[in-house]
Structure formats: structure tokens, C-alpha cells
Amino acid sequence: MTITSREVTIRKVIGRKTVKDKVYTYTYYTLPLNLYIPKSVVEKYGMEFIVERDEERGTITIRPKKQIQP
């Protein structure tokens, strides 16, 4: 079983778009593999995550580095 794991930090990307002389700004969060992370997940768990790749199954698992206790 070949599972590789590493700690990653989410990047906050702020963009701009101009439509008919009006400028719109947007914010989104991504991981190094260009995986989109919803804002609500970032607000709940923070910016540190663990990415695990399973070579045999071909799956990627993303878990928060710190779990919030209920």
C-alpha cells in the first residue's frame, strides 16, 4: 500500500474582473493541486491541511490538520 502524505497551506486568491466599466473582486481558496476549498471549510478548520495520495486506488484525501472537538 503506497500512501504519501504531506502538510499543505491553503492559498487565498483574490481576483478582479472588469465588466462594462465596473470592477468586481472575488476571493477563493485553493490547494497546491489546484483543488478548490469552500470558504466555509477554511473558516471552520483554518488554513493547514493534510493531503494523502493513495497510488493504488488513485484517490486523494484532504483532512484538516487540527480537528475541532464538539
Q: How do residues 15-70 score in pLDDT, each as one tens digit?
A: 999 999 999 999 999 988 788 889 998 888 888 999 888 888 888 888 888 775 55
Query: What does the alpha-carbon distance between residue 31 and residue 64 come to, in Å, rounded to a whole number?
Result: 12
Q: Could you tell me the pTM of the whole model?
A: 0.71
Q: What is the pLDDT of residue 17?
A: 92
Query: What does the alpha-carbon distance between residue 8 and residue 22 come to, in Å, rounded to a whole number?
Result: 35
Q: What is the pLDDT of residue 11?
A: 92
- Contact predicate 60/33, CB 8 Å: yes
Angle (CA) 22 28 29, round 5° = 160
Percent helix, percent strand, percent coil in the chain, to nearest 5: 10, 55, 35
Hey, what's the cell of 30?
485553493
